[in-house]
């Protein structure tokens, strides 16, 4: 740490109380408990205090104060993240940006929206709808998640094969470094002078800067979208069909796969009309002008038939298209009904290994004695295995954790990554040791220091310590058999 | 380690020890670009070739010394392309130079999924840093949020953080069809028209206004092009002429680019009004990229770009000693200095090229 002084808790709280109104500062256990975790509920930690600033000046004041006193700050949006990126620091301030929820401008001429960080993802598209525009990235949590969180996580969604991730759709981020210094990354112009720091800030899991305002690119809403639902008798054939579509020069607007276990899991819940006898169901969407969609749907159907699809159904109207998607979009809640708990990871692999990966997961199901339906963004090889387990049984929890970890290790082995869109947070610190060598992890730490020399903005996330990697290496040598299965390791 | 790569590593380690500046240079096609730099030449061309290319994965991994023309030919043979349409500025342009320069061509401002600059298509990179370490950032898959996205920062970094070794680029299918239309329009009307089109579902994949004519390229399915043509009007250009036009625009070979006046590049919000500057203009990217031939004072040009919310680069020619890029504010400059220190502690790579004094 630089010259920061670590003050005692009463002194920090008294100082915060001087800069924040009473209702903007939570310190009692019952008040801070709702903030003790994000969407990764298996790891919890109450912060020293929760700050809920209402003005930008209050944000700056909190940052300056905490910087001066050496107090960690963890920013938080809606808390829907799945990797624990917004887990509070026990001795720190949780900085909730939720009250900054105004849409500042929707500019039809520029095709942009400028919004505060607490604006919900879907609210941007709703505000842009009268202009015939929308914000393309659509994570499953888009009803609740905020744009500030999307920037932190570089969120994806079901349409990012064609329309890109958050990174591709954010033009500018205005905010503050941890010491309260104003910064602006990116520009409303096509680029900005100097290094492209916006590319670092997007996906930095709130560790480099605090987002105060975001300008996103809006795109014209397609006139029409239609979806094909195709059945396959074998998961490998479905995987090959995905490659065949791409090889035919088609970039579907959405390309999702459910294995049989997933179809059977969601069908009673969503009544999407999935083929429950099929080993895998592919959802393949085309959007654009009516002429374009007609041409593309015909082309896609032809490729899917040639790739051994056993049944092909094309949505006839918008209601039917939404019905097809209802199953896919409700996979997580359906998993929540089917078992006491589920654990979802999000490794990404080269598309050509999809079939092989699903077979590996089937073998793991037997080994760990847990079932694992699979839904995934097939178009970009991003897997969402849903390991079903019993969270009241420590042994089941330990097996689920080991199962999830092994899927991630397999993703790295197949040339992929441990996280496609959920982030590393606290959850995947161990697997970062497998994916990156020490010099590269040290480079990440140096990037962190370039923005935050004292290391107090959302500390302890994303970059595993040398000690942790050594410990994880020793565990893996034991061969997957965990030394203390009774200990939760999420 | 491969012997060729080993030699590059040795050269970098030696330079760091001796604190000798290195000037990264392959084909030299972009020698004109950036601030004047200095140092011993570090030439990555022996490290060349395509490491991996599986068309159905939409990714190609190539070594930095690979000729850009060779890479594009390999992709075209499989019906694919680099959708940011990078300028080569010479037959010897390499993949490493292309990524380090971070430049993009007319297709940069496409509608829909081909939209984006070089960094939007850069999935991963291996970097040889100032300590002589090989660092691997990103990867070869479309979605990857493990660790900071350092690979994309290397796009347009002009080599100041280290030597690019290999890069993985997302590729896209070639458009099924293209058509080019021309409209006789003044500057303000053309900008207005481009703005309006941007907000509509039209398959625009390139635009250029100069000397009273707006040229627009459409790419996509035949049916979509036919429908769009019906809506837009304009005069269709013969395919061969159109193809030559876009190629010459991309490579700055159009007649407009000839001459001795300094060439400025202004990146501004696309909807910005006409520039209040003296000089001939060529407008691309739906209004977002404005080329200007002008002898006006650099400070005046920078002031106008800033007023419109953008920045100005002295792209070619002119007096380059004063710095060719718009200056950074102190907060961003401090971050730049610390990043430079982290990757290149001895300060050997391309001194001054991107930021003077860095």
A443 domain residue, yes or no:
yes
Q: What is the count of residue pairs from A and B with beta carbons less than 8 Å apart? A: 273
Q: Output the domain CATH number for residue A287.
A: 3.30.70.2190
A308 domain residue, yes or no:
yes
Beta bridge partners of B265: B291, B313
Taking all residues of chain A, what is their mean pLDDT, rounded to a whole number?
Answer: 93
Q: Of B176, B236, B230, which Cα lies nearest the Cα of B202?
A: B230
In chain A, residues 95-124 whose CB comes closer than 8 Å to chain B: 107-111
Kindly tell me if the per-residue pLDDT of A489 is higher than 60: no
d(CA B194, CA B213): 13
Q: A38: distance to nearest CA of chain B, Å?
A: 18
Question: What is the average pLDDT across B113-139?
Answer: 95
pLDDT tier at A270 (50, 70, 90 boundaries)? confident
- Cβ neighbour number for residue A310 with a 10 Å cutoff: 15
Kindly tell me if the per-residue pLDDT of A455 is higher than 80: yes
Buried b (16+ CB within 10 A) or exposed e, B149-164: bbbbbbbbbbbbbbbb
Q: Which of B120, B228, B270 sits opposite A164 (nearest CB)?
A: B120
* Residue A453: domain span: 339-477
Domain B177-250: which CATH number of 1.10.3470, 3.40.1580, 3.30.70, 1.20.58:
3.30.70
Question: What is the average pLDDT across B267-293?
Answer: 97
Q: Which of B224, B269, B311 sits opposite A291 (nearest CB)?
A: B224
CB A224 within 8 A of CB A165: no
CA angle B26, B28, B29 (to 5 degrees): 120
> What is the layout of strands, in order, in the sheet containing A280-288?
A311-314, A224-232, A280-288, A254-259, A374-377, A382-389, A341-344
The answer on A425 and A324 residing in a single domain is: no
Task: State how far Cα A183 lies from the chain centre.
Answer: 25
A487 domain residue, yes or no:
no
Which residues in chain B touch residue A416, judged by CB atoms under 8 angstroms apart? Answer: 139, 141
Q: What is the pLDDT of residues A15-69, one digit of tens each?
A: 999 999 999 999 999 999 999 999 998 899 999 999 999 999 999 999 999 999 9
Output the CA–CA distances (angstroms, integers) from residue A233 to A302, A308, A386, B204, in the order listed.
17, 8, 21, 40
CB A63 within 8 A of CB A458: no
Mutate to test the interface with A, among B58, B145, B220 (most CBs of A within 10 A): B145
Does the distance separating the beta carbons of B139 and A247 come in below 8 Å? no
Kindly tell me if the per-residue pLDDT of A142 is higher than 70: yes
Q: Which of A72, A96, A120 is the last residue of a domain?
A: A96
Q: What is the pLDDT of residues A100-122, one digit of tens each?
A: 999 999 999 999 999 999 999 99
Kindly tell me if the per-residue pLDDT of A350 is higher than 90: yes
CB B264 within 8 A of CB B291: yes
CB A97 within 8 A of CB A206: no
Q: Which of A220, A235, A255 is the last residue of a domain?
A: A220
Q: Does A325 touch chain B (CB under 8 A)?
A: no
Using the Cα atoms of residue A98, residue A102, residue A108 and residue A113 in order, give the sign of their dihedral.
negative
Q: What is the pLDDT of residues A368-389, one digit of tens each?
A: 999 999 998 999 899 999 999 9
CB A400 within 8 A of CB A370: yes
The answer on A188 and A67 residing in a single domain is: no
d(CA B153, CA B126): 12
- What HEC string does A185-218 produce? EECCCCCCCCCCHHHHHCCCCCCCCEEEEEEEEC
Kindly tell me if the per-residue pLDDT of A480 is higher than 80: no
A193 domain residue, yes or no:
yes
Beta-carbon contacts of B62 under 8 Å, excluding residues fewer than 6 positions away, are B49, B50, B51, B71, B95, B166, B167, B169
Share of chain A above pLDDT 70, in %: 96
Q: Which of A132, A154, A189 sits opposite B199 (nearest CB)?
A: A132
In chain A, residues 16-55 whose CB comes closer than 8 Å to chain B: none
Kindly tell me if the per-residue pLDDT of A483 is higher than 60: no
Q: Output the domain CATH number for residue A87.
A: 3.30.43.10
Gyration radius of chain A's alpha carbons: 23
d(CA A104, CA A46): 33
Q: What is the pLDDT of residues B216-235, one digit of tens each?
A: 999 998 888 999 999 999 99
Q: What is the pLDDT of residue A159?
A: 87
Which residues in chain A touch residue B221, judged by CB atoms under 8 angstroms apart? Answer: 288, 291-292, 295-296
Helix then strand count (H, E) for chain A reads 18, 18
Q: Which of A333, A368, A384 is the last residue of a domain?
A: A333
The answer on A170 and A150 residing in a single domain is: yes
The answer on A470 and A371 residing in a single domain is: yes
Does ipTM come in above 0.90? yes
Which residues in chain A touch residue B309, judged by CB atoms under 8 angstroms apart? Answer: 187-189
Q: What is the pLDDT of residues A223-242, one digit of tens each?
A: 999 999 999 999 989 999 99
Burial class (CB in 10 A: 0-12, 13-18, 19+), A294: middle
d(CA A358, CA A414): 12
Q: State residue B118 phi and psi, 5-degree precision.
A: -55, -45
Kindly tell me if the per-residue pLDDT of A313 is higher than 80: yes
Domain count, chain A: 4
- Cβ neighbour number for residue B18 with a 10 Å cutoff: 11
Please report which helix (H) or strand (E) contains residue A153, including its range: helix A147-153
CA angle A136, A140, A141 (to 5 degrees): 100
Q: What is the pLDDT of residue A41?
A: 86
pLDDT tier at A330 (50, 70, 90 boundaries)? confident
Which residues in chain A touch residue B173, judged by CB atoms under 8 angstroms apart? Answer: 249-251
Q: Does A347 touch chain B (CB under 8 A)?
A: no
The answer on A37 and A139 residing in a single domain is: no
Q: 3-state DSSP call for residue A113?
A: strand
The answer on A469 and A383 residing in a single domain is: yes
CB B358 within 8 A of CB B344: no
CB A275 within 8 A of CB A311: yes
- Cβ neighbour number for residue B54 with a 10 Å cutoff: 17
Q: What's the token pair of residue B8?
A: 């590059």
The answer on A346 and A284 residing in a single domain is: no
Q: Which of B56, B147, B336 sits opposite A247 (nearest CB)?
A: B56
Q: Output the domain CATH number for residue A346.
A: 3.30.70.2740
d(CA A351, CA A194): 35
Going by the DSSP 8-state scheme, the letter that residue B114 receives in this structure is G
Q: What's the token pair of residue B79?
A: 């019906």
Q: What is the pLDDT of residue A332?
A: 85
Question: What is the average pLDDT across B322-329?
Answer: 96
The mean-pLDDT minimum among B39-43, B142-146, B300-304 falls in: B142-146
**Phi-psi category of residue B39: left, alpha or beta, with phi > 0 → left and psi -120 to 50 → alpha:** left
The answer on A296 and A346 residing in a single domain is: no
Question: What is the average pLDDT across B101-105?
Answer: 98
Q: What is the pLDDT of residues A384-421, one digit of tens each?
A: 999 999 999 999 999 999 999 999 999 999 999 999 99
pLDDT tier at B109 (50, 70, 90 boundaries)? confident
A482 domain residue, yes or no:
no
Does the distance separating the beta carbons of B146 and A418 come in below 8 Å? yes
The mean-pLDDT minimum among A38-42, A250-254, A259-263 falls in: A38-42
Q: Output the domain CATH number for residue A141.
A: 3.30.465.10
Kindly tell me if the per-residue pLDDT of A484 is higher than 60: no
Task: State how far Cα B284 lies from the chain centre.
Answer: 13
Kindly tell me if the per-residue pLDDT of A2 is higher than 50: no
Domain B3-173+335-343: which CATH number of 3.30.465.10, 3.30.1130.10, 3.40.640.10, 3.80.30.20:
3.30.465.10
Does the distance separating the beta carbons of B176 and A219 come in below 8 Å? no
Mutate to test the interface with A, among B57, B143, B166, B202 (most CBs of A within 10 A): B143
pLDDT tier at A8 (50, 70, 90 boundaries)? confident
Kindly tell me if the per-residue pLDDT of B303 is higher than 90: yes
Share of chain B above pLDDT 70, in %: 100
Q: Work out whether strand A93-96 and strand A73-76 pair parallel, antiparallel, or are unpaired.
A: parallel
pLDDT tier at B115 (50, 70, 90 boundaries)? confident
The answer on A457 and A354 residing in a single domain is: yes
The answer on A63 and A149 residing in a single domain is: no
Q: Does A351 touch chain B (CB under 8 A)?
A: yes
The answer on A121 and A65 residing in a single domain is: no
Where does A11-156 show beta strands of DSSP type E?
25-26, 49-51, 73-76, 93-96, 103-107, 112-115, 133-134
Which residues in chain A touch residue B355, judged by CB atoms under 8 angstroms apart? Answer: 194
Q: What is the pLDDT of residue B286?
A: 96
- Cβ neighbour number for residue A257 with a 10 Å cutoff: 27
Q: What is the pLDDT of residue A477?
A: 58
Kindly tell me if the per-residue pLDDT of A4 is higher than 70: no
Q: B133: distance to nearest CA of chain A, Å?
A: 7
The answer on A228 and A196 residing in a single domain is: no
A170 domain residue, yes or no:
yes
Residue with tokens 């004094």: B357
């Amino acid at each position: 740490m630089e010259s920061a002084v670590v003050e005692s808790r009463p002194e920090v709280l008294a100082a915060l109380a001087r800069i924040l109104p009473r209702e903007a500062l939570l310190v009692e256990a019952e008040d801070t408990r709702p903030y003790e975790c994000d969407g990764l509920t298996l790891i919890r930690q109450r912060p020293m205090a929760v700050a809920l600033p209402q003005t930008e000046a209050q944000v700056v004041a909190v940052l300056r104060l905490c910087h001066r006193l050496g107090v960690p700050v963890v920013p938080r949006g809606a808390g829907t993240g799945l990797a624990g990126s917004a887990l509070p620091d026990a001795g720190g301030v949780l900085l909730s940006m939720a009250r900054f929820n105004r849409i500042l401008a929707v500019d039809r001429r520029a095709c942009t929206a400028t919004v505060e960080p607490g604006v919900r993802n879907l609210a941007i598209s709703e505000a842009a709808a009268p202009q015939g525009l929308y914000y393309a990235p659509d994570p499953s949590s888009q009803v609740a998640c905020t744009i500030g969180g999307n920037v932190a996580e570089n969120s994806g969604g079901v349409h990012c094969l064609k329309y890109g991730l958050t990174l591709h759709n954010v033009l500018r981020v205005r905010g503050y470094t941890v010491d309260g210094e104003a910064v602006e990354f990116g520009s409303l112009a096509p680029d900005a002078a100097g290094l492209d720091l916006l590319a670092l800030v997007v996906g930095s899991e709130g560790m480099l800067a605090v987002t105060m305002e975001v300008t996103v690119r809006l795109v014209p809403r397609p006139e029409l979208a239609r979806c094909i639902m195709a059945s396959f008798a074998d998961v490998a054939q479905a995987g090959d069909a995905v490659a065949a579509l791409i090889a035919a020069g088609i970039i579907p607007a959405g390309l999702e796969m459910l294995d049989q276990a997933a179809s059977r899991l969601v069908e009673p819940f969503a009544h999407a009309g999935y083929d429950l006898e099929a080993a895998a169901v592919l959802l393949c969407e085309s959007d654009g002008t009516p002429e374009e969609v007609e041409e593309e749907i015909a082309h896609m159907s032809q490729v899917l038939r040639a790739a051994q699809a056993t049944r092909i159904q094309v949505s006839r109207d918008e209601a039917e298209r939404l019905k097809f998607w209802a199953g896919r979009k409700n996979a997580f809640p359906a998993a929540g009904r089917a078992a006491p708990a589920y654990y979802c990871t999000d490794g990404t692999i080269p598309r050509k290994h999809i079939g092989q990966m699903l077979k590996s997961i089937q073998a793991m199901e037997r080994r760990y004695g847990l079932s694992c339906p699979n839904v995934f963004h097939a178009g970009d090889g991003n897997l969402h295995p849903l390991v079903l387990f019993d969270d009241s049984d420590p042994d089941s929890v330990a097996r689920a954790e080991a199962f999830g970890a092994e899927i991630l290790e397999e993703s790295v082995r197949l040339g992929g990554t441990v996280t496609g869109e959920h982030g590393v947070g606290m959850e995947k610190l161990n697997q970062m040791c497998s994916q990156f060598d020490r010099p590269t992890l040290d480079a990440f730490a140096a990037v962190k220091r370039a923005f935050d020399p004292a290391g107090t903005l959302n500390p302890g996330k994303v970059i595993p310590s040398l000690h942790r990697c050594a410990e994880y290496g020793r565990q893996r040598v034991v061969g997957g058999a965990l030394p203390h299965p009774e200990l939760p390791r999420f | 380690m491969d012997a060729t790569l080993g030699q590059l590593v040795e050269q970098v380690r030696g330079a760091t020890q001796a604190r000798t500046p290195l000037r990264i240079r392959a084909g030299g096609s972009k020698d004109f670009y950036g601030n004047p730099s200095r140092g011993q030449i570090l030439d990555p061309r022996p490290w060349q070739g395509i490491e991996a290319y599986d068309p159905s994965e939409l990714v190609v991994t190539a070594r930095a010394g690979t000729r850009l023309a060779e890479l594009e030919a390999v992709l075209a043979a499989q019906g694919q392309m680099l959708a940011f349409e990078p300028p080569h500025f010479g037959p010897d342009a390499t993949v490493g130079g292309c990524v380090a320069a971070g430049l993009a061509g007319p297709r940069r401002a496409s509608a829909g999924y081909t939209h984006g600059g070089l960094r939007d298509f850069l999935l991963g990179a291996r970097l040889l840093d100032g300590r002589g370490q090989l660092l691997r950032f990103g990867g070869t898959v479309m979605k990857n949020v493990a660790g900071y996205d350092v690979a994309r920062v290397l796009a347009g970094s002009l080599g100041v953080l280290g030597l690019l070794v290999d890069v993985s680029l997302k590729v896209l299918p070639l458009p099924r069809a293209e058509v080019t239309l021309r409209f006789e329009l003044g500057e303000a009307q053309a900008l207005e028209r481009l703005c309006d089109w941007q907000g509509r579902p039209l398959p625009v994949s390139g635009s250029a206004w100069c000397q009273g004519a707006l040229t627009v390229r459409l790419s996509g399915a035949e049916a979509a092009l036919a429908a769009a043509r019906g809506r837009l009007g304009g005069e269709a250009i013969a395919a061969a002429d159109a193809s030559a036009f876009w190629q010459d625009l991309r490579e700055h070979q159009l007649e407009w680019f000839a001459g001795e006046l300094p060439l400025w590049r202004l990146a501004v919000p696309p909807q910005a009004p006409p520039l209040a500057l003296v000089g001939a203009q060529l407008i691309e990217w739906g209004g977002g990229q404005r080329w200007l031939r002008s002898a006006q004072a650099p400070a005046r040009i920078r002031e106008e770009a800033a007023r419109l919310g953008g920045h100005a680069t002295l792209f070619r020619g002119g007096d380059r000693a004063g710095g060719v890029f718009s200056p950074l504010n102190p907060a961003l400059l401090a971050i730049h200095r610390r990043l430079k220190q982290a990757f290149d502690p001895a300060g050997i790579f391309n001194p001054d090229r991107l930021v003077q004094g860095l």
